[in-house]
Amino acid sequence: MSAADESPTKAAGGGTADGEASHSVEIELKFDVDDPTPLPDWSTLPGVARVGEPEPRDLDAQYFDTDDLSLAHAGYAVRRRTGGPDEGWHIKGPRRADGGRVELHWPLGPAGEIPQGIADAISSLASVTSLTPIARIRNSRTAYALQDAAGGVVAEFVDDRVSANDERAGVERAWREWEFELGPAAPAWLEERQALFAAAEKAVHAVGGRPAASDSKLARTLGH
């Protein structure tokens, strides 16, 4: 799988109407928070003029891999997720040097039918016929658009309350986490992005948030 879009932002949508994959690059910070932790104050972030109204999203994702987790070991994740503006099939690629992950998106399609594009994208790692459900992650998410003075989305902040099941081990886990992800109006220059991330970390730490102990929801679900 290769990145066809080197933009630092994440595109909305879950694939094109004809079933072709769309591309996006996700660059974000993740934080662990306790259940009663209050939301951060985003008013001090550079470039952020207002915080949008809370947008609730109920997300339900099924993750697939081989029995020996060959995709996960190579840094990939395959899922089918319903709910939210980007519902559909997704492949997340390995984390890049800048912290971002390339994502490929396809429409949902019929339940139980894996898009041919996914089979093609992972063919060097695994056969699509060898994929099996490894995790189910349900997420009660509240999203907030952090906007600049012109209304552009500098970043999206999401407050996630996660209920996850390791399908192979039969272990259930629940936790709360936050994500802070660059949006279409994010700074173009690396130094400005770093300043934005530093301000976001400061705001989160001020209310008791801490860096996420796990790299992803899937990894945490599987006990990593």
Q: How far is CA 130 from the centre of its chain?
A: 25
Least-confidence region, from 5-9, 170-174, 192-196, 218-222: 5-9
Place of tokens 């939301």: 39
Smallest CA-to-CA distance from 13 within 87, 117, 104, 114 is with: 87
CA 43/CA 217 separation, integer angstroms: 28
Is the pLDDT at 198 greater than 90? The verdict is yes
Supply the Cα-derived Rg of the chain in whole angstroms.
Answer: 17
Structure tokens at 170: 């039969």
Is the pLDDT at 58 greater than 90? The verdict is yes
* Percent of the chain's residues with pLDDT above 90: 83
Is the pLDDT at 22 greater than 60? The verdict is yes
Positive or negative, the CA dihedral 135, 136, 138, 139 is positive
User: Which pLDDT tens digit goes with each residue over 117-171?
Assistant: 999 999 999 999 999 999 999 999 999 999 999 999 999 999 999 999 999 999 9
CA 148/CA 27 separation, integer angstroms: 18
Structure tokens at 103: 């994502």
Please, how many CA atoms are within 13 Å of residue 27, restricted to the half-sphere of its CB? 24
- The fold of the 22-221 domain, in CATH, is Hypothetical Protein Pfu-838710-001 (2.40.320)
Confidence grade of residue 19 (pLDDT, cut at 50, 70, 90): low
Smallest CA-to-CA distance from 180 within 149, 150, 152, 202 is with: 202
Confidence grade of residue 28 (pLDDT, cut at 50, 70, 90): very high
Least-confidence region, from 3-7, 110-114, 158-162: 3-7
pLDDT at 99: 80
CA 90/CA 22 separation, integer angstroms: 10
- Full-prediction pTM beyond 0.95? no
Structure tokens at 197: 């991330």
pLDDT at 16: 44
Please provide the size of the chain in residues: 224
E strand spans, the chain: 22-26, 28-33, 50-51, 55-65, 77-82, 88-95, 101-106, 132-147, 153-166, 171-182, 210-211
Kindly give, in sequence order, each residue whose CB lies less than 8 Å from that of residue 141, ignoring residues fewer than 6 positions away. Answer: 56, 57, 58, 59, 84, 158, 159, 160, 161
Label residue 49 exposed, middle or buried (CB < 10 Å: 0-12, 13-18, 19+): middle
